[in-house]
A and B are shown apart, each in its own frame.
Chain A
Amino acid sequence: MMNPVSRISLFVLVALVPSVFVLLPTIAFVANSFFAVENGQIVPTFTLSNYAAFLQQPEYWGVFVNTLGLCLQVSIICLVFGLPVAWFIWRLPERNRYPMLFVVILPLFMSYVVKLFAFRSILGLNGFLNQLLVASHLIDKPQMAFLFSRDAIVLTQASMFFPYMVLPIFLNLERIPHSLTQASSDLGASAGMTFREVVLPLTMPGVVAGLVFVFIMSLGDYITPQMVGGMMGHTFGRVVWSQFGVTFNWPLGASFGVVLVLVCAALVGAVGMTSRQQRI
């Protein structure tokens, strides 16, 4: 048995690492968003002007709204493809299930940048997709249209974040006892009805988790839009980056970051509330 003193000191020791490396930077970050910049130097005062700038200038909040739309699109596409894939893997015989899951999440072991370059070379003018389409006589000559567009961002992000949708849904499916789908079938439901009435409702927590994962990752991704988005690649992530990496206006960038965090937190909170009402 541990005495209270050593238990408390152990707690402090364990809590120290996360507080030093997570809590403190976050606090510093939030504090920064209320600071100002004068003559290229950050002045620790208290001002709301950074947040005002965000709300007043359409090149900030307008891009933000656009970016939210983009992230939503990516999340929904991931869901539309991820749910059937997760379901398919779940239905596989046990000996094939985990190898197949591994295949789906394999890209996660690859560097993010490598994947981006791979996508660019696939979609590019001299890329695989164009060669394939030309070879199959679907188009006469290579098209530039596949790369550097909003669709290219959506496609690339959806592909890259796809495993983050499949994983939580699959893990959720794994938690559904087989007796439930058997009971549904036993009671007269077709496979489709069983999916709609039993599997889908019980998978909602996984679906929601996947949506949140993909949405947040897409929202925070400032490299993919630049790499494959071309003229459409100006997303909120880029705006934030420009404040940190170009202008060194950290307070303004921090305020944008706080806005991002708040939106993500609100999203997770809302999702948590709906899934609690689900009794699952």
Chain B
Amino acid sequence: MIKRRTFLKTTLGTGLALSAPWVARAQTRELRIQTWEGYTEPEWLKPFEEANDVVCRVNFTTSDDDLFTKALASKGGDFDVFALNTALIPRYVANSLYLPIDPSRLTNFEKLAPAFHDNALTVVDGEVRSLPFAWGSNPLIYDQDYFTEAPDSWGVLWDPALDKQVMMVDDSSSVISVAALYLGYEDPFNLNADQYAEVKRILIEQKQILLTYYAGFADGVSLFAQNGVKAMYSMGEPQVKELQAQGVNAALTIPKEKATGWLDGWMLSPSCRDVDLAYAWFDACLSQATGKIMTEKLGYGNTTDLDANAAAGLDYADKLVWFQLAPDTEYRTQLWNEIKAA
């Protein structure tokens, strides 16, 4: 690389100074990144660009489905690397929209904490499909003024003593998964008919005491704050901070039945134009410095610097069940409609 640059410099000389911009574009390498907002913060993107003399073209994902449609249409030709919820990996695998990653080409692969290093969603049959990068959970949020100590079970959301003071989110996959966890089912994303029947039964039973199913992140916060809610299934850790900002003495906990979590990872596009550069980017993302900055700045759990996680209260990655794509989402939606119509 250096050679080529030296060559260009010496052969073209300063006489071509006027056309320098064109020259620069022609010679500089480019990395096309498709990602959620927050995963390409300047704190690690800029140093990466400088160190590798590269220009990154970042494209933000708006929804999982848009991304999938886009990837399907161009066979991943629009980007070199992309960030994806690990739950969705099977979709991309089924359509060959990924390239396996060779961990030996990465300096920082071994920096991954154990829970992420051998994750069952990312490493299948010894094939590394995704590099875990950021995570969060769906904890139980509760009001510390009401609970003297953290509730240890999702059962509080079924407690008749909390009539009209508990909330769930209006989302079939979340609600069914957490009900399955509460019932003690090992894999909440793969349920049999009996288990579904039981899930349906307890969710209908729960309607008796639920205040409402809240519609979104901010909606949950405002309802909790305005209506004296004592506990709710949370869409994510940042809800705690926002509740505290509204004067609620809120805290989160992971109940003994475990909680669901989301895990995003970096993947390699089958149409990647510069694989070397992609690996360089992966290494940059898996550095402990990057993980620390991300956790401190954005509040997401990182996958490499456990101390930073612990400092931010994110010490429960091992108590989470990472989201997976249920093989029967249509049935789940139908079940959810049945529960709500009941």
**Contacting pair A246 B333 (CB below 8 A):** yes
**Contacting pair B337 A127 (CB below 8 A):** no
**Contacting pair A242 B212 (CB below 8 A):** no
**Contacting pair A227 B333 (CB below 8 A):** no
**Contacting pair B333 A243 (CB below 8 A):** yes
A246 and B227 in contact (CB under 8 A), knowing A59-B337, A63-B341, A144-B164?
Answer: no
**Contacting pair A242 B337 (CB below 8 A):** yes
A117 and B227 in contact (CB under 8 A), knowing A226-B215, A243-B333?
Answer: no
Return the CB mask of A33-76 against B: 1 if under 8 Å, else 0. Answer: 00001001000000000000000011110110000000000000
Q: Of A58, A120, A229, A249, which is within 8 A of B330 by CB?
A: A249
Enumerate chain A residues within 8 angstroms of B336, measured Cβ to Cβ. 242, 246
A160 → B minimal CB distance (Å): 17
Enumerate chain B residues within 8 angstroms of A121, measured Cβ to Cβ. 226
Contact stretch, chosen from A82-90, A192-200, A207-215, A233-241 = A233-241
14 A-B contacts, Cβ less than 8 Å apart? A58-B341, A59-B334, A117-B222, A126-B227, A126-B228, A147-B227, A148-B211, A226-B170, A234-B340, A242-B333, A242-B336, A246-B172, A246-B333, A247-B330
B56 → A minimal CB distance (Å): 31
Q: How many A-B residue pairs have CB under 8 A?
A: 80
A163 contacts the other chain (CB 8 A): no
**Contacting pair A233 B226 (CB below 8 A):** no
B334 → A minimal CB distance (Å): 7
A-side residues, CB < 8 A to B, are 37, 40, 57-60, 62-63, 117, 120-121, 124-127, 144, 147-148, 223, 226-227, 229-231, 233-234, 238-239, 242-243, 246-249
B171 contacts the other chain (CB 8 A): yes
Q: How many residues of B contact A (CB 8 A)?
A: 30
- Beta-carbon contacts under 8 Å, B135-181 to A: 164, 170-173
Chain B residue at minimum C-beta to C-beta distance from A57:
B334
Enumerate chain A residues within 8 angstroms of B228, measured Cβ to Cβ. 125-126, 144
B219 contacts the other chain (CB 8 A): yes
Additional pairs, 11, CB under 8 Å, beyond known A59-B338, A127-B226, A147-B227: A37-B330, A59-B342, A62-B341, A124-B223, A223-B215, A226-B215, A227-B215, A229-B212, A230-B210, A230-B212, A233-B213
Residue picked from B211, B212, B213, B342, most chain A C-beta under 10 Å: B212
Cα A175 to Cα B222 in complex, Å, equals 46
A23 → B minimal CB distance (Å): 24
